[in-house]
């Protein structure tokens, strides 16, 4: 008591006065602390919005594509009716362009003129002719994709005011484009190419379908392997394994594997699957194997917690009426834990869908135009496609990259929403 | 039969085996008063038959395919005309590749000599023979197994116990895959790293100050002697991870404190899932964001303030990596803060301390070990993160701690050394595995320490 008094005395008031004196300062500190916390949350959310806004603002234009209408005379001299595939369709496109601007005669100018439409225009024309054989010998109107530079100009990504030398489109081409626009020969349409074709060096012809197919096959392999194996491992560790040093080691091991950097799995895949077993490069099969190893720890850990959540009374009831351990697990525990395990699997799959680094190691980073049709066709996956496009210098690939990211995020959102939905159902039942 | 058809046949046989076994069990017990007289339920007799039919055949099948091409190739090589057979190793490999290409129906460069064409035909015929042999063996094995089990089925056969033993064995096999993965990682990375250390001594790798992994192709080539000193790479990794931690730890921790201690329920219900979205975004997207938005912004800001900032500055990669790790830190801290018993808070509040005093003086010290564990896990994440640094950090290994300059990291080097085709005997390629080993060891050590710390902490309050 004495002691307390002594400490309170130094001012010449009572303890309560000292406390009150400091109170304002302490409250200010309290408010400051609270604001810091609030700011931290807001900063994180701010980053999230900045990320989304920058990607959407860069990418939404990729869903539209500029088309140019050409009046093409299907010259019987150029197209041989018996050999449709062998005809020089590019020449027909060029003649159609020249017929609009007959005053262009110099070689260099002609080349600039031809650059207004995509090299893919010839393929469009070929497909058209293959379908309409009777049109050979007449003049047809056809919409063909514009070149990516024209596309960028129409979408406003190329500034007309920059000096000609620093612009990808020169003044002459600008005038041509403006003239075409005034004649109503240019329009923007929904970009189907982006969703239906594979990769290409020409931005206006590049699409994500090849990468989506590659991702699909890779994920199928991952799912088919990782769900049964991960589920079985979780069941063994949780229900059957004796508690001894071995199972302890396995448990620690799995926890550590979950935190191993994904690129190390890529090294494993390269050394074991490609070099030792001699499996082919760049194929979804190997990608799926690597991603299986990578997602297994996640699936096992989530699966175990789902099994742990099954109430002990069910186990005791099952055992007391004479079920064997396997029967108990198969008939009573697993059905209860299944939604939880599925949630874990979906989370693992979402992780696998977004993973890039290990796939770079096993060569899924190749430039592949064809749409993969099976598990052993060379292919790339969506995130790797994003990485490849992000490296391309053309401005047009910037919006393609952002659009591909939007598609990837959409897939991830669907998967995560499914996981949340499953969890809800599961919680309701209990 | 093609492998697919063979597997299909096996499947059909196994299903047939199931029904045969089950009906046999019904048959043997009919005299003794129905299924009650059996040791197990009839379905187990069916499953036992099916397993015996399928599993051994499958094992033979996979082994056969594993060794088939090597053995056939050896046979073909042994039959090649002598001048080709005694070619040096690498030339012979070319010939083998040619043969393989012809067999696969690929386009072969150059013209095909009759000897090689003959060898390819030989290969094809051997393959056909092997295929037929395998089909016969597998089908025979399956049928014999069905017959064997069929004869053995009696009411006293403990079918359920056998089946359960087999199921348990399968479960153990699946579990041990996790261990095999670890062994696989360690063995493969270690093996290649050892090969690397035979070319470049360990001490030069660990303590060398220069990293330029170019090996001379010709002995007289200038300027590509190859230097494999990992210090600049490690320093760059530490720099970027350090910047990331400077962003992630304060923001993540404060966010977790606010959400756990201050925020009302509605705010928490909105903010937490949004933070989780941040955690679910693929790293390649962060990499794109870093290269597209953050790096140019920092470069321009530096230009205005008068520094020269590299467009691949460590700062940009570090900040974006920090953003990526924020949700990781905040969710781990959230868990440990919530695990601090309410009684401690109540005690502090009842003594008249404000909320922030309670948090800084009572809750955080109590939660400290858990938070430290979480931060260690976050560091190991930052070190192992690949895509952000590949897309936003540099390639040149500068020995610097200036965050405005370009540095490179362990993961960037692994990717650049290994992407594309590579020979597996050059120091350049093997260096990637040495770096991989380094990465694995560092992250493993961090994880082990972190897990021990977190576990100790949990035991403290449970």
Q: What domains, with CATH codes, occur in chain B? A: 3-157 (no CATH), 227-461 (1.10.3720.10)
Q: Mean pLDDT over all residues of chain B?
A: 86
The answer to whether the CB of A145 falls within 8 A of the CB of A203 is no
> B162: which residues sit within 8 A by CB, 6+ positions away?
B48
Considering just the CA atoms, what is the radius of gyration of chain B in Å?
Answer: 32
pLDDT for position A8:
46
Q: Test B292 with A398 for CB contact under 8 angstroms.
A: yes
The CATH code belonging to domain A209-429 is: 1.10.3720.10
Cα separation of A368 and A385, whole Å? 10
Q: Does B84 score more than 50 pLDDT? A: yes
* β partners of residue A80: A83
Cα separation of B19 and A195, whole Å? 48
- Cα A136 versus chain centre, distance: 43
> A294: which residues sit within 8 A by CB, 6+ positions away?
A262, A265, A351, A352, A355, A358
| Residues in chain A closer than 8 A to B356 (CB atoms) | 29-30, 33-34
CA distance B105 to chain A (A): 15
Q: Does B453 score more than 50 pLDDT? A: yes
CA distance B416 to chain A (A): 10
- Residue among B249, B277, B270, B272 nearest B260 (CA): B272
Q: Does B420 score more than 70 pLDDT? A: no
pLDDT for position B224:
52
Residue B6 pLDDT class (50, 70, 90 cuts)? confident
> pLDDT tens for residues B8-21?
999 999 999 999 98
pLDDT for position A218:
95
> How far, in Å, are A285, A403, B274 from residue A57 at the CA level?
36, 10, 20
Q: Does B379 score more than 70 pLDDT? A: yes
Q: Does B111 score more than 80 pLDDT? A: no
The answer to whether the CB of B115 falls within 8 A of the CB of B84 is yes
Question: Where is pLDDT greater, at A135 or A306?
Answer: A306
- Give me the mean pLDDT over the A78-84 stretch: 78
> A300: which residues sit within 8 A by CB, 6+ positions away?
A230, A233, A234, A237, A254, B178
- Residue among A240, A336, A346 nearest A302 (CA): A346
pLDDT for position A355:
92
Q: Does A387 score more than 90 pLDDT? A: yes
Show me where the domains of chain A are located: 2-60, 63-196, 209-429
How large is the greatest C-alpha to C-alpha distance in chain A, in angstroms? 117
A27, closest residue in chain B (CA to CA): B354
Q: Test B282 with A354 for CB contact under 8 angstroms.
A: yes
Strand ranges for A32-158 from DSSP E = 64-73, 139-145
pLDDT for position A394:
82
Question: Where is pLDDT greater, at B23 or A427?
Answer: B23
The DSSP 8-state label assigned to residue A117 in this structure reads: B
Residue B235 pLDDT class (50, 70, 90 cuts)? very high
The answer to whether the CB of B392 falls within 8 A of the CB of B294 is yes
> How far, in Å, are A2, A23, A186 from residue A7 at the CA level?
9, 18, 87
Which residue carries 């009374």 as its tokens?
A313
CA distance B352 to chain A (A): 10
Cα separation of A404 and A354, whole Å? 12
Q: Does B360 score more than 90 pLDDT? A: yes
CA distance A270 to chain B (A): 9
Query: And the tokens for A139?
Result: 């003049």
The answer to whether the CB of B339 falls within 8 A of the CB of B461 is yes
Neighbours of B65 (CB within 10 A): 12
Q: Does A175 score more than 50 pLDDT? A: yes
Q: Mean pLDDT over all residues of chain A?
A: 87
The DSSP 8-state label assigned to residue A83 in this structure reads: B
In sign, the C-alpha dihedral spanning B448, B449, B450, B455 is: positive
pLDDT for position A164:
80
- Residue among A389, A45, A407 nearest A212 (CA): A407
| Residues in chain B closer than 8 A to A360 (CB atoms) | 415, 418-419
> pLDDT tens for residues A138-161?
888 889 899 888 888 888 888 888
CB pairs under 8 A between A and B: 254
The answer to whether the CB of A388 falls within 8 A of the CB of A380 is yes
Residue A353 pLDDT class (50, 70, 90 cuts)? very high
Backbone angles phi, psi at B374, to 5 degrees: -60, -40
The answer to whether the CB of A145 falls within 8 A of the CB of A127 is no
Choose among B282, B439, B447: nearest Cβ to A264. B439
Cα separation of A159 and B397, whole Å? 37
> pLDDT tens for residues B246-292?
999 999 999 999 999 999 999 998 998 888 888 889 999 999 999 98
Element spanning B212, H or E: strand B211-212
């Amino acid at each position: 008591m004495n002691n307390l008094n002594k400490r309170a005395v130094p001012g010449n008031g009572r303890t309560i006065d000292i406390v009150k004196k400091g109170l304002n300062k302490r409250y200010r500190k309290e408010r400051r602390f609270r604001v810091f916390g609030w700011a931290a949350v807001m900063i994180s959310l701010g980053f999230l919005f900045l990320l989304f806004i920058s990607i959407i603002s860069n990418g939404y234009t990729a869903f539209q594509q500029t088309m140019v209408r050409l009046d093409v005379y299907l010259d019987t001299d150029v197209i041989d009716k018996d050999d449709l595939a062998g005809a020089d369709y590019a020449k027909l496109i060029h003649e159609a362009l020249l017929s609009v601007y007959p005053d262009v005669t110099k070689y260099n100018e002609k080349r600039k003129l031809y650059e207004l439409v995509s090299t893919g225009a010839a393929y469009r024309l070929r497909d058209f002719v293959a379908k309409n054989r009777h049109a050979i010998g007449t003049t047809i109107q056809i919409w063909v994709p514009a070149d990516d530079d024209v596309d960028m100009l129409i979408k406003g990504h190329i500034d007309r005011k920059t000096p000609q030398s620093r612009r990808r489109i020169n003044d002459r081409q600008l005038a041509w484009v403006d003239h075409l626009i005034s004649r109503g020969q240019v329009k923007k349409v929904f970009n189907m190419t982006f969703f239906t074709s594979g990769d290409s060096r020409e931005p206006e012809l590049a699409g994500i379908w090849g990468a989506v197919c590659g991702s699909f096959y890779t994920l199928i392999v991952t799912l088919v392997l990782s769900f049964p194996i991960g589920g079985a491992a979780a069941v063994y560790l949780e229900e059957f394994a004796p508690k001894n040093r071995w199972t302890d080691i396995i448990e620690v091991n799995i926890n550590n594997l979950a935190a191993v950097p994904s690129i190390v799995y890529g090294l494993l895949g390269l050394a074991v699957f490609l070099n030792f077993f001699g499996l082919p490069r760049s194929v979804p099969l190997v990608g799926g194997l690597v991603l299986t190893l990578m997602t297994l720890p996640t699936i096992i850990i989530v699966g175990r917690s789902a099994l742990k959540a099954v109430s002990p009374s069910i186990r005791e009831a099952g055992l007391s009426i004479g079920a064997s351990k396997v029967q108990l697990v198969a008939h009573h525990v697993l059905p209860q834990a299944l939604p939880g395990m599925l949630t874990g699997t979906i989370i693992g799959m979402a992780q696998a869908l977004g993973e890039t680094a290990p796939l770079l190691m096993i060569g899924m980073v190749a430039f592949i135009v064809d749409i993969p049709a099976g598990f052993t066709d060379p292919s790339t996956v969506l995130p790797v496609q994003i990485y490849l496009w992000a490296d391309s210098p053309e401005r047009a690939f910037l919006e393609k990259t952002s659009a591909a990211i939007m598609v990837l995020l959409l897939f991830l959102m669907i998967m995560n929403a499914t996981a949340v939905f499953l969890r809800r159902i599961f919680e309701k039942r209990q | 039969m093609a492998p697919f058809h063979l597997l299909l046949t096996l499947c059909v046989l196994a299903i047939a085996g199931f029904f045969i076994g089950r009906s046999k069990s019904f048959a043997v017990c009919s005299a003794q008063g129905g299924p009650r007289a059996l040791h197990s339920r009839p379905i187990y007799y069916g499953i036992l038959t099916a397993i015996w039919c399928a599993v051994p055949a499958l094992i033979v099948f996979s082994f056969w395919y594993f060794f088939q091409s090597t053995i056939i190739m050896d046979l073909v090589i042994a039959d090649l005309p002598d001048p080709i057979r005694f070619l040096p190793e690498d030339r012979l490999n070319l010939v083998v590749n040619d043969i393989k290409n012809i067999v696969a129906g690929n386009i072969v460069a150059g013209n095909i000599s009759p000897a090689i064409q003959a060898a390819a035909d030989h290969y094809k015929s051997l393959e056909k023979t092997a295929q037929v042999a395998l089909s016969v063996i597998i089908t025979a094995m399956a049928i014999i197994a069905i017959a064997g089990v069929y004869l053995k089925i009696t009411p006293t056969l403990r079918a359920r116990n056998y089946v359960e033993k087999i199921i348990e064995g399968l479960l153990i096999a699946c579990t041990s895959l996790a261990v095999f993965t670890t062994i696989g990682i360690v063995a493969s990375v270690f093996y290649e790293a050892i090969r690397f250390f035979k070319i470049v001594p360990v001490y030069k790798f660990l303590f060398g100050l220069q990293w330029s992994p170019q090996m001379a192709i010709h002995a007289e080539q200038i300027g590509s002697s190859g230097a494999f000193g990992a210090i600049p790479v490690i320093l760059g990794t530490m720099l970027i991870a350090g910047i990331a931690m400077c962003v992630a730890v304060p923001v993540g921790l404060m966010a977790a404190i606010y959400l756990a201690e201050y925020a009302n329920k509605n705010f928490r219900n909105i903010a937490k899932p949004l933070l989780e979205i941040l955690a679910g975004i693929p790293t390649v997207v962060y990499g794109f964001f870093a290269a597209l938005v953050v790096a140019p912004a920092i470069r321009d800001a530096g230009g205005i303030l008068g520094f020269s900032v590299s467009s691949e500055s460590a700062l940009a990669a570090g900040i974006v990596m920090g953003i990526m790790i924020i949700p990781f830190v905040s969710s781990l801290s959230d868990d440990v803060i919530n695990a601090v018993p309410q009684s401690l808070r109540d005690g502090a509040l009842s003594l008249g301390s404000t909320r922030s005093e309670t948090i800084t003086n009572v809750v955080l010290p109590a939660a400290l070990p858990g938070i430290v564990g979480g931060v260690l896990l976050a560091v190991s994440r930052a070190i192992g993160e690949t895509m952000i640094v590949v897309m936003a950090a540099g390639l040149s290994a500068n020995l610097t701690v200036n965050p405005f300059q370009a540095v490179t990291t362990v993961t960037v080097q692994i990717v650049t050394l290994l992407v594309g085709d590579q020979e597996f005997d050059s120091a350049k390629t093997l260096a990637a595995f040495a770096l991989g080993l380094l990465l694995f060891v560092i992250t493993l050590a961090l994880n082990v320490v972190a897990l021990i710390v977190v576990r100790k902490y949990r035991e403290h309050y449970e």
